[in-house]
Chain A
Amino acid sequence: MMIAVASGKGGTGKTLIAASLALSLGKAILVDCDVEEPNAHLLISPQWQLTKEVLLPFPKVDLAKCNFCQECQRVCRFGAIVVLADQVLTFPELCHSCGACALICPSKAISEEKRKIGEIRVGIRNGIKLMEGRLQVGEPMATPIIRELKRWLDKEDSTIIFDAPPGTSCPVIHTLRATDYALLVTEPTPFGLNDLRLAVGVARKLNLPIGLIINKAGIGDRGVYDYAQEQNLPILLEIPEDRAIAEAYSRGKSLVEAFPEYKKIFLGLFEKINLQAGENVRKAVGSSKR
């Protein structure tokens, strides 16, 4: 079972929910895909077991072999390689590491070198395995790290929870794709609703079953509730706006750690998700038989 926790809007409580769910289950893999600002480790406090660099190849030109034909420049769609009269400039931050320049070069003057754009850390704590992607500051591309995280995942039979980054663009898509369930966390405010609509759009595009969690319930207005009803989206859990929760979070405490009664609530949530995801599978099998 692979559950992706996402939201559109930032700061709605994705990481708090993802970590609390993992800790309640007792045995789970938590994958922090918010590689630009990974925060799950602050709530899990794992013992780090290993670190692996995420390396991306970029072109290196051997000027002795180069005949300045400009084929590499032509084939590169990202402007990462520019051929001048007697030299070739490369821009590693623009390079997407597709390898086309090296393949096309008729004089075999281009080889590839690797550079670090971030790292993956794996840590454990009481049955929880945390896998964290971390983009190096100054590097623009988050997606290769998310791809690498997923490549590394050994799927065993345990539950895998993905903590998605905010937004709705490429890093979010790459987190959500090939998971079984989109658990969308929102807050009942106009900003929350606006971004929830976008997140629902992403999840639907990927054909994922969707469940909602409303965090900070009690603030704002009823817009999110009306939308959920109108779209027939189940609200699986409401967490009240509560200063005590916010204070505990500020100190790096998850819901279940600060308020043990939440463990039962999260186990109940997990059951609902399983049920809904199971139905979804049955529906899909049923329709393909028809």
Chain B
Amino acid sequence: MSVKQLAVVSGKGGTGKTSLAACFAALGPGLLIADCDVDAANLHLIASPMILKKQDFYGGAKAEIDPELCQRLGICREVCRFDAVIFEAAAQPVRYRIDPIACDGCGSCVEFCVSRAIKMIQPKAGEWYRSETRFGPMVHARLGIGDENSGKLVSMVRKASLKLADEKGLKMVLIDGPPGIGCPVIASLTGVDYALAVTEPTMSGIHDLKRISELCRHFFIPVGVVINKFDLNPLISEEIKKFAETNHYDFIGRIPYDPDFTRAMVQGKSLMEFNSSPVSNTISEMWEYIKNLIK
């Protein structure tokens, strides 16, 4: 039996991905949580993981010029397409240096430097963890502040999650994805069995939903749509539902605005653990429905 993978995504940030993923994690059973929002992870604030194993992550390489070897020919500056080579004319003596933020890590400068004065260094760019939580095992990560290659780190989390789920005989990997549609989102989505798009009834919500669902379609991933805070604007909620139906996405359901989500978060709990209410019942039903869809 192969492990199923479900990704919770949204396009727009702050629609409630993590709060909803935490509910599903609490409902389970038998799943592994993979927090793939590696540059602004939040699920650990609810899952309170106990870290069992920590590993360093090395992201993209950066060029570095050795001023001793540099003959100041400026070839590096000519070949660099990222304006990362800075010529410091005011320095004594004048020198070339790499701006690590602008450096893309392509290594062209290293290749063409006749003085062999440039080398690539690969600094630690984050950490990733294998943990245990009250919901089951969890794989998560932390990208260093301002570091790059979040997509690469997401891929590592994904790979470790699958392996661990398989070892433990778990049925599902539940992925809490990052916002957007770019590289870390693509890394969170590739090869999943189902994408759950959480949206909100605002003009931004529907605009962003269209882009994230198009991305899923691009990768042939089936999409389900959930509207959070649907009562904020019933008209746009209706429009979202129509959009889902017209495009043959599964319309999973609607969740009303409920301040208990935040109250639960303050206590480090998922809504399911916080209270039993019509809203938590709705979420339980949704979860059963989704599990059936991806069985």
Partner of B185, one of A36, A141, A190, A202: A36
Q: Is the CB of B208 within 8 A of A39?
A: yes
When each residue 71-112 of chain A gets 1 if its CB lies under 8 Å from chain B and 0 otherwise, what string results?
Answer: 000010110000000000000000011111001100000000
B282 interface residue (CB < 8 Å to A) = no
Q: Is the CB of B79 within 8 A of A169?
A: no
B121 interface residue (CB < 8 Å to A) = no
Given A202-B145, A251-B203: A167 in contact with B40 (beta carbons within 8 A)? yes
A153 interface residue (CB < 8 Å to B) = no
B77 interface residue (CB < 8 Å to A) = no
Minimum Cβ distance to chain A for residue B154 (Å): 11
In the complex, what residues of B have CB within 8 A of residue A21's CB?
none
Q: Is the CB of B207 within 8 A of A39?
A: yes
In the complex, what residues of B have CB within 8 A of residue A205's CB?
145-146
Q: Is the CB of A247 within 8 A of B203?
A: no
Minimum Cβ distance to chain B for residue A149 (Å): 15
Q: Is the CB of B112 within 8 A of A37?
A: no
Minimum Cβ distance to chain A for residue B116 (Å): 15
In the complex, what residues of B have CB within 8 A of residue A234's CB?
none
Partner of A100, one of B13, B79, B145: B79
When each residue 89-105 of chain B gets 1 if its CB lies under 8 Å from chain A and 0 otherwise, what string results?
Answer: 00000000000010011
Q: Is the CB of B81 within 8 A of A191?
A: no
Minimum Cβ distance to chain A for residue B113 (Å): 12
In the complex, what residues of B have CB within 8 A of residue A60's CB?
none
When each residue 166-186 of chain B gets 1 if its CB lies under 8 Å from chain A and 0 otherwise, what string results?
Answer: 000000000000111111111
In the complex, A36→B147 CA distance in Å?
19
Binds A, one of B129-137, B245-253, B262-270: B262-270
Q: Is the CB of B208 within 8 A of A99?
A: no
Q: Is the CB of A37 within 8 A of B266?
A: no
B233 interface residue (CB < 8 Å to A) = yes
In the complex, A195→B266 CA distance in Å?
15
Q: Which B residues between 1 and 52 are near A, CB-CB below 8 angstroms?
A: 10-15, 18, 37, 39-42, 45
In the complex, A247→B236 CA distance in Å?
11
In the complex, A169→B101 CA distance in Å?
11
When each residue 160-173 of chain A gets 1 if its CB lies under 8 Å from chain B and 0 otherwise, what string results?
Answer: 00000111111111
In the complex, what residues of A have CB within 8 A of residue B200's CB?
250
In the complex, what residues of A have CB within 8 A of residue B81's CB?
97-99
Q: Is the CB of B266 within 8 A of A137?
A: no
In the complex, A58→B292 CA distance in Å?
44
A278 interface residue (CB < 8 Å to B) = no
A129 interface residue (CB < 8 Å to B) = no
In the complex, what residues of A have CB within 8 A of residue B146's CB?
168-169, 172-173, 201-202, 205-206
In the complex, what residues of B have CB within 8 A of residue A142's CB?
180, 182-183
For residue A97, which residue of chain B has the nearest CB? B81
A9 interface residue (CB < 8 Å to B) = yes
In the complex, what residues of B have CB within 8 A of residue A78's CB?
106
Given A166-B13, A250-B202: A9 in contact with B40 (beta carbons within 8 A)? yes
Q: Is the CB of A42 within 8 A of B14?
A: no
Number of A-B pairs whose CB atoms are under 8 Å? Answer: 187
B76 interface residue (CB < 8 Å to A) = no
B148 interface residue (CB < 8 Å to A) = yes
Q: Is the CB of A11 within 8 A of B262?
A: no
A127 interface residue (CB < 8 Å to B) = no
Given A42-B204, A99-B81, A168-B143: A11 in contact with B181 (beta carbons within 8 A)? no
Given A37-B207, A167-B179, A250-B203: A96 in contact with B14 (beta carbons within 8 A)? no
B222 interface residue (CB < 8 Å to A) = no
In the complex, A97→B266 CA distance in Å?
45
Q: Is the CB of B265 within 8 A of A189?
A: yes
Partner of B178, one of A98, A103, A167: A167
B119 interface residue (CB < 8 Å to A) = no
Q: Is the CB of A9 within 8 A of B45?
A: no
Q: Is the CB of A140 within 8 A of B204?
A: no
Q: Is the CB of A100 within 8 A of B203?
A: no
For residue A100, which residue of chain B has the nearest CB? B108
When each residue 163-205 of chain A gets 1 if its CB lies under 8 Å from chain B and 0 otherwise, what string results?
Answer: 0011111111110010000000000011100110010011001
In the complex, A9→B148 CA distance in Å?
17
- On A, residues with C-beta under 8 Å from B are 8-12, 15, 34-37, 39, 42, 75, 77-78, 96-100, 103-104, 135, 137-142, 165-174, 177, 189-191, 194-195, 198, 201-202, 205-206, 219-221, 243, 246-247, 249-252
- On B, residues with C-beta under 8 Å from A are 10-15, 18, 37, 39-42, 45, 61, 79, 81-82, 101, 104-108, 111-112, 143, 145-151, 178-186, 200-205, 207-208, 211, 214-215, 218, 229, 232-233, 236, 259, 262, 265-266, 268
- Could you jot down 22 A-B contacts, CB within 8 Å? A9-B40, A10-B13, A36-B180, A42-B203, A42-B207, A100-B107, A103-B111, A135-B182, A140-B182, A141-B183, A166-B13, A167-B180, A169-B149, A172-B146, A189-B266, A195-B42, A198-B40, A220-B262, A220-B265, A249-B204, A250-B236, A251-B203
Known contacts A75-B111, A246-B232; 4 additional CB pairs below 8 A are A10-B14, A11-B13, A169-B148, A169-B184
Q: Which 4 A-B pairs have the closest CB atoms?
A: A10-B13, A11-B14, A98-B106, A36-B180
